[in-house]
Chain A
Amino acid sequence: DGGITQSPKYLFRKEGQNVTLSCEQNLNHDAMYWYRQDPGQGLRLIYYSQIVNDFQKGDIAEGYSVSREKKESFPLTVTSAQKNPTAFYLCASTGALNQPQHFGDGTRLSIL
């Protein structure tokens, strides 16, 4: 079945560490997105990519970085510059920009 796979499901970070969250899709979608979800705040856009080798900052890009070297992959790195990284991170993709986005099951990041 086609879908979006996020890994790991749970991730722990030590102070001063960078961590990378994986997002892979086999839907042949051009556009991919990263969101951060905090309780009571809905989803906030971190970065998005509408085509391979190109990406744009969303509303809360500070402290995060991404790459889009392959169509099916859009990894997110949470850097040590992100001072409050504890959250639920969701990856999404779409095949057409005015169509619904499909979501992965998320990665929950916590600080040790």
Chain B
Amino acid sequence: GDSVTQMEGPVTLSEEAFLTINCTYTATGYPSLFWYVQYPGEGLQLLLKATKADDKGSNKGFEATYRKETTSFHLEKGSVQVSDSAVYFCALSGRGSTLGRLYFGRGTQLTVWP
């Protein structure tokens, strides 16, 4: 079935460091892919999305490219800030009989120190 695997956390970086959070997926067909961010005590917010192969989603300096050949959607940011500290979730949307469902990775906790 459909699933998402994210790199284990926690990830701890200094301010202005480069960030990569790996995400790979297993799915039938060509799902849409998403990154969500969760700040402490809050719900999830959509960070970026990509709906087809080679699409690049971007928002607030974060980027991720839909790579069909490697079934990956890695999240990157060139220079992180303290305010980026949060939990990041990779997700894919189901197709066919699972249309309407989202499948989430386990989340990666990011802490950025000044």
A residues in contact (CB < 8 Å) with B: 4, 6, 31, 33, 40-43, 45, 48, 50, 58, 90, 92, 94, 97-106
Binds A, one of B11-19, B74-82, B97-105: B97-105
B81 to chain A, nearest CB (A): 23
Contact mask for chain B residues 31-55; partner A; CB cutoff 8 A; 1 contact, 0 none:
0101010000111111001010000
A-B contact pairs, 11 of them (CB 8 A): A6-B43, A43-B44, A48-B101, A90-B43, A90-B44, A94-B100, A98-B51, A99-B32, A99-B93, A103-B44, A103-B45
What residues on A are CB-neighbors of B51 within 8 Å? 98
* Interface residue SS majority, chain B: loop
- Residues of B contacting A98 with CB < 8 Å? 32, 51, 93, 95, 99
CB-based contact A50/B100 at 8 Å: yes
A33 to B43, CA, bound (A): 13
Q: How many A-B residue pairs have CB under 8 A?
A: 52
A92 cross-chain contacts in B, Cβ below 8 A = 43-44
Q: Which of A94, A101, A102 has the most CB of B within 10 A?
A: A101
A-side contacts of B41, CB under 8 Å = 105-106
Cβ–Cβ contact A101 & B105, under 8 A: no
Q: Within the complex, what minimum Cβ distance (angstroms) separates A15 from chain B? A: 26
What is the minimal beta-carbon distance from B4 to any residue of chain A, in angstroms? Answer: 8
- Is the beta-carbon distance between B89 and A42 smaller than 8 angstroms? yes
